Structure 1
Amino acid sequence: MQQKPSNEAGPGPAIILVEAQLGENIGAAARAMANFGLADLRLVAPRDGWPNEKARAAASRADHVIDAAKLFATTEEAVADLAYVYATTARNRGLPKPVVGPRAAAAALRGRSSAGQATGILFGRERWGLTNEEIALADAIVTFPVDPAFASLNIAQAVLLMSYEWMSAGLDGRITARAPVAAFDATPAPKAQLIGLMEHLEAALDEAGYFRTADKRPTMVANLRAILQRAGFTEPEIKVLRGVVAALERRHEKRRRADEND
């Protein structure tokens, strides 16, 4: 008999597995999600394709998670509709992002979920985790308190830990983080809109000659994206900023035409 998800924990974060290599690990992650009331499984380019019968077998009747799993070609597509995302990593990447433990992350996710915000947690490849570019899409980093001499966690184990903390945060009153109370809607814009702003700004800066050398461009772009990501812009704020960029583009175009006429 197929088990059904419980509604006790309320709506939960999307669990996003990036380029998972083994179907068995996907299935074990789905089983862990079902144990603790999570059901939104997102798969980014799994190595062995999807659907995967090994994943279904390892899920141990968590068929509702497997059947509803969504497939994406890129991590950007997988997070596009989310307002707040955590990235899991055991290594210090030197990125300017808040770093929290799983308990604090789960409490914050509970608060954001109660405020109606769509959230997610990124988990990387079994062998080497997430890239810096993928982590740059997240708002904060989750790291587990493990032995530094043996810090690597199986992807399903990591999903289990976060799913457990999510459930625990809703059952024992340890909800310590809430969305800020304000007179206006401070909900962060979906990632798709933020990514659009980033790409629009980068294209405008390319046209203006801001990136003077090709070798420095990736680092400069990464720094710009980190600044924009950290701000937590709302949808109206992003519309304003894109209008500013568009106005600068028009001014640059007028100047270029004037120079050509001269």
Structure 2
Amino acid sequence: MIRPLVAAVLASLAALPAAAAPCGNTGAGFNAWKADFAATAQQAGVRKKGLEALAQAQYATRTIAADRGQKSFKYTLDKFMKVRGADAIVSQGRKRLKSNPNFYRTLEAQYGVPAGILLTLHGMETGFGNFMGDSQIVSAIVTLAYDCRRSEFFIPHAIGALMLVDQGSITTGTLGAKHGELGHTQFLPGNALAYGVDATGDGRVDFYNMTDALASTANFLRAKGWQPGKGYQQGQPNFKVIQAWNGATVYQQAIALMAARIDG
């Protein structure tokens, strides 16, 4: 479930005034925009460390290039599965399930999400944690919040990233994907803030710890409406929850097909 304080903060973002400085399609106005956005962030509840991280954020040219150049979601399902290494993900997923069945059974008992889904997401997003990104999360997500293409979508995630800095889950130097996704399953920062789970009980939600990350992923899916014991292929109740994880149809289809092979 979403923590009540976090839910209230995220809900309030819709009512916040837009930053006075306009969005931009180059880095020319980035620093002026950041200065104005700091007031919006502070009003949303971002504190000293988060505001310092915002001030230090750099315009992420690689993020902009990646955002403009996305191609894989235009592939056919067969080509997408091949390019993303579906057979290898399924094989590794089965091995990981066999080596640690109690871990995945515990997650399913608590959240209702089967192992195949969690393992497929883990494999698809980061190769089971082997590569979790090489871009500074705060700079990437703040750049996307400034960029005119999808500013409205990314502003809440930029606020989320700054709040994650405040609470110690990430720092200005923490690395993730080029769109600011973080950890083993590549949460967008606003979702990480809302659905993060301290499954290890160490007092900190660490998305670079596999236990916390997969519990958080299961928590996200359950909160989005996952129905325990129901199917997740196209046309079945839980497929719409996979859609909540990623908006690309070919990605959704691939997740469902690979997960079934792992669970089977």
More strand by share: 1
Question: Over alpha carbons, which structure has the higher Rg?
Answer: 1
Normalising to structure 2: TM-score of the pair?
0.23
